[in-house]
Structure 1
């Protein structure tokens, strides 16, 4: 019996060492794969960021260096499948031409490309097309910048009960009155039409002549907000007055992320 016990202990120690060695090797492999995964994702994010920056330059728009994040872990399995669940692109201090020498400015433009189809052969060779099923972008245009685009002196904009409200000085009968009214917002072919209605001026006589003067004044406030060309073919779909500014929602479908898109 002593001999049996004597030969069992070394085998147990050897088995324990083998298990430990296997676990250590497994951890090393996992760590190496994790590093490779992040390196690959970082490279892809830099490439996408450079292409977005190039497109902004071509569109005569400016922004800080694009901050790109490829969602989903692990990244390498997405490469193998040829499908990426989501790519986030953040543009800070975005500015683009809106005509008449003025620019539309947004502190941040958040872009999301989802269901991106990029076959492995296409990624390797650079030939073929990479397509995003949907692309959306949201940003906020401050009321001060919007008033500057409209160009009416003294115009102040704000949100009230979910509506855009404008107030501006109005001269009549040798006096200055403060006119206020709500704005109607409509999006057509990527252009935001801004028109004012229900304009009143406290203290102004309610007579036909004064109403005609106010109606003519309201027509001067009408404005077509031409949003500049955005990355990835994004078009304005909806605008919504909020406390901090005009919230702009953009979108596009089946967007090419190859040479024409990114």
Structure 2
């Protein structure tokens, strides 16, 4: 028979043995969980690095294709800056289709006709639904097609004045309209002229026509008004479509503080040799 003290000692001993048996199992369980988490983090990190590397590689290929088109149009620009939107990139690669690719062409100069050129500080291009098979990206030789392309750029007012070719003309934007002003001499008088321009898109180019040109100090003499109308006609400008990559043509134009904001567009464009 065990006394009360012996029974208590026995129970404590059993408890100590039980705890001793359990503690290492908890440590082993926690250790296994840590190993699994570390492996998952390493795997995830590897996928992110691979995704980033593949994205940079594809952006370089597309940038080279765009640069080829710029040269083919006898235009010039700084190195194209390409950004493939969306994450993860690898799923788009496997599918061979990219929802949107942004292409920026800094300091673009494109020929128009003769010696005339259009200079854009930045042509910001958004290409949507881009088909680029993996083999085309890997070899750099296959065809890449774009379903829809939009772009914006600004023709600044000093450049536009030079294209108009009339000395003394000043241009600005007011209430969403292009305003022109100039000074002319008629019958020995200095006349300060001003008027608004009508902007239209014709065959992928820009047409500028000044209407209702008036002079604040204009005498009521038909001859002088005829001279003013003749001067306004010389401020007209027909600017054919600049020769841009991706078959971009003018779709809309609007006056802003620093110049004419031009919206370009194109559809079903090839980035391969056949689309140059």
Deviation at 1:64, TM superposition (A): 1.2
Mapped pair 1:249 → 2:263: yes
Q: What is the CA deviation profile of residues 184-203 of structure 1, one whole-angstrom value per residue up to 9, with x for unaligned ones? A: 11101111111110101222
State the distance in 2 between where 1:59 and 1:206 align. 51
Identify the residue that residue 148 of structure 1 maps to in structure 2. Answer: 162
Preserved contact between residue 143 and residue 272 of structure 2 (Cα < 8 Å): yes
Q: Secondary structure at the match of 1:44?
A: helix
CA deviations on 1:185-227 (whole Å, 9 max, x unpaired) are 1101111111110101222222222222222222211110123
Aligned residue in 2 for 1:230: 244
Compute the displacement of 1:243 (Å): 1.2
Q: How does 1:12-161 map to 2 (within 5 A)?
A: 12-120=26-134, 122-124=136-138, 129-161=143-175
CA distance in 1, matches of 2:145, 2:125: 15
- Contact 2:203/2:241, CA 8 A, preserved across alignment: no
Give the superposed CA RMSD.
1.8
Pair 1:182-2:217 in alignment = no
Determine if the alignment matches structure 1 residue 207 to structure 2 residue 209: no
| Count of aligned positions | 262
Q: Kindly indicate whether the alpha-carbon contact (under 8 Å) linking 1:231 and 1:261 is maintained by their aligned counterparts in 2.
A: no
Structure 1: distance between partners of 2:28 and 2:273: 59
Aligned 8 A contact 1:60 1:97 in 2: yes
Change (3 A) 1:15 1:34: same
Change (3 A) 1:100 1:123: closer
Deviates more, 1:9-18 or 1:24-33: 9-18
Range that drifts further, 127-136 or 83-92: 127-136
Consecutive unaligned residues of structure 1, counting only runs of 5 or more, are none
Distance across 1 between alignment mates of 2:78 and 2:230? 42
Which residue of 2 is the match for residue 168 of structure 1?
182
**Are the counterparts in 2 of residues 104 and 227 from structure 1 also a CA contact under 8 Å?**
no
Query: SS in structure 1 opposite 2:29?
Result: helix
CA deviation vs aligned residue, 1:56-85 (integer Å, no higher than 9, x gap): 112121111111111111111111122211
Give the structure with higher Rg (CA).
Answer: 2
Per-residue deviation at 1:251?
0.8
- Give TM-score, length-normalised by structure 2: 0.89
What is the deviation of 1:125?
A: 6.3
